[in-house]
Amino acid sequence: MTRIAVAPTLSRRQLMAAGLGVGLAVTWRPARALSDELAGALRGFTGGAPTKEGRVNFDIAPLVENGNTVPITLTVQSPMSAADYVQAVAVFNEKNPQREVVSCKLSPAMGKAVVSTRIRLATTQQLVAVAKMSDGSYWTHTVDVVVTLAACIE
Amino acid sequence: MARTLIHAPSTARKGEVMEIRTLIAHPMETGYRAGSDGRTLPRDIIRRFSCRYNGEVVFSADLYPAISANPYLAFSVVANASGTLSFTWEGDNGFAQTENASITVA
């Protein structure tokens, strides 16, 4: 009877650590990179200018039960003063028939950069909110949503 | 005339950030859906909303078919003078509607 040789370098402790690593890799998934569809729509809005993650917060339920009316809130961190304010915010989607969702123009007279509305979502997809600041910088927030009942499009 | 719901304060202190909520009754037909005869229903949406405060545009939005029926928009305006807030919706098939709300700033 031959004994199955266990590699002497792999101790029980190392094996446990490796298992933990695999577990972490499965449960912790980083935010998906922007799909080509969304990146293209974003380029149309920014005109090719670089975008950064942050400053804008896209508030939407991660699990949507009814895609016909999905409440969203866009909040941008900005003093909304005449010198430093948000010029525009827009939302783009990945899998609706049209990429654009809403595009708003803001002004310092608003006092705070918060906009809410209700949108339609055709299917489970990725959405991106982008804000254009008065200094010309662009900030984004990307979210993934799961839609159980799609908005009727056909 | 479509029915509208506008939530805006009638009085405010100077410098106060007022919360404005608007809703208008409109089907927002996307132009992608088929009717009972199988033919695609023509698009009929509101394309543009704007809010003016004493004549000056404070907030405006371009709407697309991905906006739900009966478009709802909430935003804020700083109260700096008494006057009127005017809300305008424009869309397909010559849709245009303007509603006003008067505000007294103390």
pLDDT for position B95: 94
In this complex, is the C-beta atom of B54 within 8 Å of any C-beta atom belonging to chain A?
no
**Residue B105: is its pLDDT beyond 70?**
yes
**Residue A124: is its pLDDT beyond 50?**
yes
**Residue B9: is its pLDDT beyond 80?**
yes
**Mean of the per-residue pLDDT values for chain B?**
94
Cα separation, B81 vs B103, in Å, equals 8
Structure-model confidence comparison of residues A154 and B69, the more confident one = B69
pLDDT for position A26: 47
- Is residue A40 helix, strand or coil? helix
**Mean of the per-residue pLDDT values for chain A?**
85
Query: What domains can you pick out in chain A, each with its CATH number?
Result: 36-147 (2.60.40.2470)
> Tokens in use for A4?
């199955």
For B77, nearest residue in chain A (alpha carbons): A110
**Best of A120, A127, A130 to mutate (most B CBs within 10 Å, chain B):** A120
In this complex, is the C-beta atom of B8 within 8 Å of any C-beta atom belonging to chain A?
no
In this complex, is the C-beta atom of B6 within 8 Å of any C-beta atom belonging to chain A?
no
List, as ranges, residues 17-46 from B with C-beta within 8 Å of A: 17-18, 30, 32-34
**Residue A152: is its pLDDT beyond 90?**
no
Give the mean pLDDT of A102-128: 94
**Best of B7, B40, B75, B88 to mutate (most A CBs within 10 Å, chain A):** B75
Q: Report in angstroms the alpha-carbon separations of B44 from A23, A128, B1, B34, B55.
A: 50, 25, 15, 13, 28
Cα atoms found within 13 Å of the Cα of residue A31, Cβ hemisphere only: 11
Q: What ipTM did this prediction achieve? A: 0.91
Is A111 within 8 Å of B71 when comparing Cβ atoms? no
Is B68 within 8 Å of A69 when comparing Cβ atoms? yes
| DSSP E strands, chain A | 51-53, 56-59, 63-64, 70-76, 86-93, 100-105, 113-119, 125-133, 138-147
Lowest average pLDDT, out of A143-152, B11-20, B84-93, B95-104, goes to A143-152
pLDDT for position A1: 55
Cα separation, A46 vs A52, in Å, equals 12
Q: How does pLDDT run across A26-71, given as a tens digit for each residue? A: 444 445 677 888 888 999 999 989 999 989 999 999 999 999 999 9
pLDDT for position A4: 63
pLDDT for position B8: 94
Cα separation, A19 vs A8, in Å, equals 18
Q: pTM of the entire structure?
A: 0.82
Query: What domains can you pick out in chain B, each with its CATH number?
Result: 4-30+45-105 (2.60.40.10)
Is A102 within 8 Å of B61 when comparing Cβ atoms? yes
**Residue A24: is its pLDDT beyond 90?**
no
A-B interface: how many C-beta pairs under 8 angstroms? 100
For B67, nearest residue in chain A (alpha carbons): A119
